Every structure is written in C-alpha cells, then in structure tokens.
Amino acid sequence: MKDGIVYLVGAGPGDPKLITVYGLECIQKADVIAYDRLVNPKLLEFAKKDAELVYCGKLPGKHHLIQDEIHSLLVEKAQEGKIVTRLKGGDPFVFGRGAEEAEILKNHGIAYEIVPGITAGIAAPAYAGIPVTHRDFATSFALVTGHGREEKGQDFLNWPALATGIDTVAFYMSVGNIAYISKKLIENGRKATTPVAVIEWGTTDQQRTITGQLDEIASIIEREGYHNPSMIVVGEVVNVREKIQWFEEQGMAFT
C-alpha cells in the first residue's frame, strides 16, 4: 500500500473566514483531520462526511493527546494510505510545534506539506485596531512565547533586546506570567508607562480588549478576569486603537 500524505495546516486565529484557500482545500479532501483546541469548530463542517475527526486539544497540564501520541497518529494514518490534515490554530510554525511534526514525518519517509496560516500575533491586534507596525511608532516587531519550556522558565528570553531593541512585542499565552513579563521589561529599560493591550479570544465573537500601562496591566488583567487564549501587545502602536477599533465597533458580527 502506498503511504498517504500529511498536510500541516494553519487554521488561522479564530475567525473561520481567515483560513487560507489552500488550508480549506486540505480540510475538504482529508480522510483524517487531527485538530487542536483553538481551531474554530466551524471549519470542521467542511470535512467530508466520512472523514475521521481526532481531537488533539491541549490545556496547561492537561493534554487530550500528548505530543508523542500525535506523532504516532500522523504516522499511522499516513502509512494506511490516508490523506491526513493536521489542523493547528494560527500558523503551524509559530509556537505550533509544526517543525517537530514535520521532522517525524520526514524520518518515517512520509510525504508532507506545510500550509501557513495567519498567526494570532498579527490578527488579534488587527481585529482590535492595533497595527503591529506603523511608520510613526514601530518599525520592528517580535513574536514571543509567554510561557517558555518549564525547565527554562522565562529566563531564556533576551530581555534587554525585547525591552529596548524591539518597538512592538506580542506575547502569546502570557496572561499567567504578565506580572513577571512586565517586571523584566521595566527592569531592562522599557518605560513603565508603555501602552499595553490584552486581547482575549481575538478575531472571534468572544473578543474583548483592555488597555493600560506596562506597570499596571497585571492588576488590570486580574481585576477584569482575562484569561488565555489572549494576546498581549506591548508598544506605542497600542494607542492607535483609539482611532480604528473597527471590529468591536461593528458588533463582531459573523456570517
């Protein structure tokens, strides 16, 4: 039997309309779809009626399937000759472990393709009316994990560079560590008054956004009860939101 193929597909940041054309094609032709927690379930409605849907969702400390089991699933289904779509929130190569999965497939001689997706670090701010670059405020932009590997914590980050060398910094899944992040940025030269935005469930009908200063954002998050999935954006571009917060003003309507 000829091996199948695995498509490592970025499903986008939440709004189902933001998936790429090719990503949607991969859903439509898949025999097996292995999907993550943050994939909008509306995308699964485009699957074939007889497609096998496998939930691979992860919460901190609680994984429905551990990563090694996901690797085994992809290999096993592809070796059965099936078309497999590994559907990942955002982009598979932006904190999505897509490279690890691609390497496993390569090692087993299985054909695969990488299908990029729109990452939340750009899309969530855009839906909140925040451009990550702006010729008046920001000519550099960084995507940063807000919860590094446990054995390294946050200390592996280059805090001096993030604090003073990058205009806009977008932190993924960082609500639980925001007090530490704020402290390290300020200690390394970022102004305590730097504007910060927190965007919860960005690009979805659950989106809500709060703003504040770097030295106060942790207490604001606690007071307002914000949780992950959230993007935290640090930089002067946050102030642009006052003029162009288009999505929330439109009532976040979905069709």
Q: Which residues are catalytic?
A: 36, 58, 173
Q: Cβ distance 75 to 82 under 8 Å?
A: no
Helix pair angle (98-107, 67-79), 10° resolution: 40
How long, in residues, is the chain?
255
Secondary structure class of 83 (helix, strand, coil): strand
Specify whether the backbone of 197 is left (phi greater than 0), alpha (psi in -120 to 50) or beta.
beta
CB 34 within 8 A of CB 87: yes
Q: How many CA atoms lie within 13 A of 105 on its CB side?
A: 26
d(CA 234, CA 190): 10
